[in-house]
Amino acid sequence: MNIAIIAHDSKKELMIQFCIAYCGILCKHQICATGTTGKLVEEATGLNIVKFLSGVQGGDQQIASRIACNEIDMVLFFRDPLTVKEHEPNEMNLLRLCDVHNIPIATNIATGEMLIHGLERGDLDWREILHSNR
């Protein structure tokens, strides 16, 4: 599975801790991330992460384009809903694209844990069918 990870500044440490906790599951998949989040998670976990630009420089848009091309199977996007961000329209576009293309997305740790446990159980194996039809 191709998993994208994104975290707002105030949620980066939470994402790092999440990825440390679930490194055993994540290491079996291809991970991509916005630049700063990817760098921090890679340093903390040793996971091999494809890093795009930072979110404010368009990394979230790079991930959104991969979602639109059905190249992402799951998104872990730990958001800070209490802080206004200048690039929030881009984030809404990313969320919309996940809805349009039926990409499971977690926007907080609670749904992140549900998705990661589902991934481990095989609940997302239906995404593999999409890859075999390309």
Residue 30 domain-assigned (yes or no): no
Overall domain count for the chain: 1
Task: Look at residue 87 in the predicted model and tell me its pLDDT.
Answer: 59
Q: Which of 60, 73, 80, 123 is catalytic?
A: 60
79 located within any domain: no
- Residue 101 located in a structural domain: yes
Q: What is the sign, positive or negative, of the torsion defined by CA atoms of 84, 85, 90, 95?
A: negative
Q: How confident is the model at residue 126 (pLDDT cuts 50, 70, 90)?
A: confident
Closest CA to 19 of 10, 9, 34, 31: 31
Range of the domain at 98: 43-73+87-107+122-134
pLDDT tens sequence across 39-67? 999 999 999 999 999 888 889 999 999 99
Q: What SS3 state is found at 112?
A: helix
60 is catalytic: yes
21 is a domain residue: no
> In this structure, is residue 19 part of a structural domain?
no
Domain-embedded: residue 80: no
Q: Is residue 14 part of a domain?
A: no
